Amino acid sequence: MAGALDGKLALVTGASRGIGAATAIALAAQGAHVILTARTPKGLEEVEETIFNAGGAATIAPLDLTENESIGRLAGAIGERWQALDVMVLNAGMLGSLAAVPAIDAKEFARVLTLNVSAQAALIAAFDPMLRRSKGARVIGVTSSVGRKPRAYWGAYGASKAAFETLLGAYGDETSEISAIRTAIVDPGATRTQMRAKAYPGEDPASVKAPEVVADRIAALAIEGFTPGHFERVG
């Protein structure tokens, strides 16, 4: 499939459903070969089939980003086949339970931080060499408004997103003057996802925008480029 990202390689985490799946489909529609990763093989296979049926190209890589050495193995396998990574969308994340700060479960909080922060740092480190070999790498992180504006009962998730934004922003600041890597942070706003449904069980899903709206904006950023440290809220 020819498009603005023809010949480019993209990696999307959390690509089995929601914003990740829609973003992978949008990037493939622009010609990118998309590596799809998530814990759920069946969901990845469905996204891959959608991409193939539309004439696009994708490769699935089912894995748990929190497992020891899983990210290193993924980077090694991708690096054996491709020289450079042009687009990396850091979308995978865990909500955890909504609770007052004194009631946060320590073990669950550790799991949230492992996926939402530590695994993101590991992804950046593992793919940094491939990103540097791209003529114009784009690393786009998906965040939440609670990472910038604290909200009651969202302390654990909000803290993880604040840390993730700082991490990705620092990486962008470190690389913007010495490479073609550019980082951006996207806050999807209210979007029809399973995470949203878990956080707002009484909400009518039809009252919020579809994941495809966010995905189209992320794909546009990958194509258009952006200034270092870009941040935007969708919708």
Residues taking part in catalysis: 157
Residue type for position 27: L
For residue 87, count other CB atoms closer than 10 A to its CB: 28
Residue 180, helix vs strand vs coil: coil
Neighbours of 58 (CB within 10 A): 23
- Count other Cβ atoms within 10 Å, centred on residue 80: 7
Mutual angle of helices 18-29 and 41-53, in 10-degree steps: 30
The closest of 221, 234, 112 to 161, measured between CA atoms, is 112
Contacts of 123 (CB under 8 A, 6+ apart): 13, 65, 71, 88, 90
* 211, 19 Cβ separation under 8 angstroms: yes
- Assigned token pair, 53: 């049926």
